[in-house]
A = this chain, B = another copy of it.
Amino acid sequence: MRPPGSARGPRPTSVARVPGIDYDVLDTLLGYALRRAQIAAFDAFYRATAGHGITPPRFTALVIVGANPGLSQTVLGRVLGIARSGAMLLTDWLVRRKLAERRPHPEDRRSWGLFLTLRGESLLADLKRTVRAHDGQLGGTLTETQRRTLLRLLRQLAE
Of B24, B138, B154, B155, which one neighbours A66 at CB under 8 angstroms? Answer: B24
B147 engages A30 (CB within 8 Å): yes
Q: A37-B34, A44-B31 are in contact. Are A21 and B153 (CB under 8 A)?
A: no
Interface size band for A = 35 or more
A18-B157 Cα distance, complex, nearest whole Å: 17
Proximity bits, A28-56, B CB within 8 Å = 1, else 0: 11111111111111101100000000001
Interface residues of A (CB under 8 A from B): 13-15, 18, 21-26, 28-42, 44-45, 56, 60, 63-64, 66-68, 71, 75, 78-82, 128, 131-132, 135, 138-139, 141-142, 146-147, 149-151, 153-159
